[in-house]
A and B are shown apart, each in its own frame.
Chain A
Amino acid sequence: MMNIDAIQLLLSALLLLTTFILLIQRRVDSMIYTYAWQSAFLSLATLSASFVTPYQWDLFFSALLIFALKVIFIPWFLRYLSHRLSSTKSSDNPTSLVARPFLLSMIASALVLFSYNLTNSLRTSTQLFSSNAIAIALSIILLGMLLIITHRKAVSHALGFMVIENGIFFAALILTRGMPMKIELGIAFDVLVAIILFGVFFFHLNTGIDSLDVDSLNRLREGAE
């Protein structure tokens, strides 16, 4: 038991670390690889949890599902799309926060502290196998949102959403040993549809606006003709 706790703590730390790396990355390719690593750690965490719970087959199956979907299919799909649409001319706007990794990671650290503070009530009111993990799960969700706010490329936004999804899955894993299997399948299906829709959008944005840079999405504003 002790060993598995330690392994899970290590994995949750790795999950947070990969989120930080994703946040300050600027190249899309490396972001996709980092995401694949993060999903691999999540899959391992699920696998290790399947050894200590009575519902082990459900969790074992979830671990396989994550591996197939998030470690193999989604990174492959995003990489395929970003290469296919590599006409993307502009890079990130140098004045944006992404160009200042130090400032960005300071903001991110503040968010981590904030989620530790917010989850205080959860950690004291229950016995969790790891009291850190829930704060880390919330941090990953918040950092995923920060990623979407700071990055200006459509592919980064897709990755930001997937990071949020990973954070939520991790939260479900540590709080309730995962959701019931039927619901988990439903969520996986929705995520799959969402990522395909992202793919459809990359093509539409590329042909319609000739860029995958969301800064060029500025036609619809209040009072605009």
Chain B
Amino acid sequence: MLFYTVLFTPLLGIILFSFIRRARWAVSINLLVSTVNFIAMIVWLVRWQTTPSFFILHAHEQLYLDALGLIGWTLTTFIGMTTALFSYGYMLQNLKERRITLKRLQLYHLFYQSFIFSLLIAFSANNIGLLWVAIEGATLATVLLVSLYRTPEAVEAAWKYFIICIVGIALALFGTILVYFAAQTSLDPSHAILWHSLAAQAKTLNPSIMILAFVFLFVGYGTKVGLVPFHFWLPDAYSESPGPVAALLSGLLLNVALYALLRFQILTNLSLHNGLANQLMIIFGLLSFVFASFTLHHQQNIKRMFSYSSIEHVGVMTFAFGIGNTIAILSGLFYLIIHALIKSAIFTTVGNVMHLTHTQKIEKIRGILKLNPWVGWLLIAALFAIAGAPPFGLFIGEIGIFLATLQTYPYLAIILGVGFLIVFAALLRYMQSMTLGNPEKVSAPSIAKINLVPAGLHLLIVLILGLYMPPFFMQILKQASSLFTGQ
């Protein structure tokens, strides 16, 4: 029952928003719905911890939750809540500055909750067709959020995002059909589309079809992840969308696409035994990482800079899952969680920075520490965290992935290590120029403390996870990684 409470709370929000006409009510209800959603999730987790069963089937086996999906659910509800808290002040401010109309605010909340709902469905879908429908739904829900400001730039970014991603995702649908086809000989039609029966019977799937299917799925969901040859939409979409939307896109949408890719990587590996899926992931992960870490160095726009950082990190994650031994998978999952938390913290902080300076240009952002010490320190902490500096959690993930690479492909570890240093240098340089020195203007608009809470909370969790790993958390990670090794 609690399962459905978590799943359908956003839907309740969608219904409520059709009746609300007042701005302050709408933002409050958005926050309320997201908070209820997260609390339900926590209650469910606590109750579930007492009787841990890692496979939960619902709704005639169409929905299914294992440790991997659980990570997705927890991240979605948590980031959904903190971003709603941030967007409370942010959207009211936008309304006051007349950047958006009341009608558009309504649209924003409607799509906000539809997006969260699609993600929860995607993370718990056992039916691989439903997984596709949910991810397409998440894409469609975010398109008009990207173009919320209706400036020519925002419309252009949203159009690129829309056309590239729906064509990409269409290819993933073709791949999904091929997987369904590959199982036709060994499973009856109603089970051939369910992930858990596919995984149980993976050895009987036709390997030559699975190769073709995985290539299409990789290109399709890889486009959504933002892997390098298909990444063009990503910096545009992140840089033109409103602050909370950028936080949602980088913190959640990226994860759900990677999650779908991982599901099919597991199936393909079980079916093929030759590691072809892993090799594809290593090659394109490393390519994205190297490309993005060099591109990071000459950025003029702060949001574009951080979107290249997203491409870089997603490259590392894809690479780690491609390496495929237990340390790499564990570190990859840990990395994924930490990155989602830091990146959404960063985009909310950047929203605050832009409120102070009214510009996205890095060279015009000076002396944030003097303008507003709170925002300044948050930005410094976030930049250290995303660069992978200890004691923040990302450091542990990077070390784990580096060690796993050293065990399996020692030569690639050199590339990885040098890449980490290049990224670190770039981020350190940006941090110095943005936070230190004297600001261009002496006075800046004040920022409500409540707008700083989401980023602060995220970074605190990241810091704690860098120093201490709760046993329950470790247990979930281990369960999730055991899916990959097929034990």
Contact = CB atoms under 8 A, between A and B. Distances in A.
Interface of A: 118-119, 121-122, 125-126, 138, 141, 145, 148, 154, 157, 160-161, 164-165, 167-168, 171-172, 175-176, 179-180, 182-183, 186-187, 189-190, 193-194, 197, 200-201, 204-205, 208-209, 214, 217, 219-220, 222-223, 225
A125 B206 contact: yes
Contacts of A172: 177
B152 A209 contact: yes
B174 A176 contact: no
A217 B166 contact: no
Given A179-B129, A187-B133, A194-B140, A122 B174 contact: no
Most chain A beta carbons < 10 A, residue from B62, B130, B156: B156
Interface of B: 62, 127, 129-130, 132-133, 136-137, 140, 143-144, 147, 150-153, 155-160, 162-163, 166-167, 170-171, 173-174, 177-178, 180-181, 184-185, 189-190, 192-193, 206, 208-209, 211-212, 236, 239-240, 295, 298, 300
A214 B152 CA distance: 12
A190 B163 CA distance: 14
A60 B171 CA distance: 25
21 contacts: A122-B209, A126-B206, A161-B166, A161-B167, A164-B170, A168-B170, A175-B178, A182-B127, A182-B129, A182-B130, A183-B133, A187-B132, A187-B173, A201-B155, A208-B151, A208-B152, A208-B155, A220-B156, A220-B239, A223-B300, A225-B300
A190 B137 contact: yes
A186 B129 contact: yes
Contact of B174 (A141, A182, A201, A223): A141
Contacts of A223: 298, 300
Nearest to A164: B170
Nearest to B147: A204
Contact of B156 (A165, A190, A219): A219
A142 to B, nearest CB: 10
Nearest to A180: B193
Given A179-B129, A183-B193, A204-B150, A171 B174 contact: yes
A176 B181 contact: yes
A148 B160 CA distance: 12
Contact of A122 (B150, B160, B212): B212
A225 B160 CA distance: 18
B104 to A, nearest CB: 12
B129 A219 contact: no
A161 B208 contact: no
A201 B166 CA distance: 14
Given A164-B170, A165-B170, A176 B208 contact: no
Contacts of A118: 212
Contacts of A200: 144
A201 B240 contact: no
B208 A121 contact: yes
A212 to B, nearest CB: 11
B169 to A, nearest CB: 9
Contacts of B208: 121-122, 125
A175 B159 contact: no
A110 B181 CA distance: 26
Contacts of B155: 201, 204-205, 208-209
A181 to B, nearest CB: 11
A208 to B, nearest CB: 5
Most chain B beta carbons < 10 A, residue from A118, A164, A186: A186
Contacts of A126: 185, 206
Contacts of B300: 223, 225
A186 B236 contact: no
Most chain A beta carbons < 10 A, residue from B173, B180, B206: B173
B293 to A, nearest CB: 15
Contact of A121 (B140, B192, B209): B209
B152 A219 contact: yes
Contacts of A138: 174
Contact of A179 (B153, B167, B177, B206): B177
A186 B132 CA distance: 9
Contact of B163 (A119, A148, A182): A148
Contact of A220 (B157, B166, B173): B157
Contacts of A190: 133, 136-137, 140
A172 B177 CA distance: 6
A138 B246 CA distance: 35
Given A197-B143, A204-B150, A186 B174 contact: no
A189 B190 CA distance: 21
Nearest to A200: B144
Given A175-B181, A183-B129, A197 B162 contact: yes
Contacts of B158: 201
Contact of A168 (B143, B150, B174): B174
A176 B189 contact: yes
A121 B213 CA distance: 12
A180 B190 contact: yes
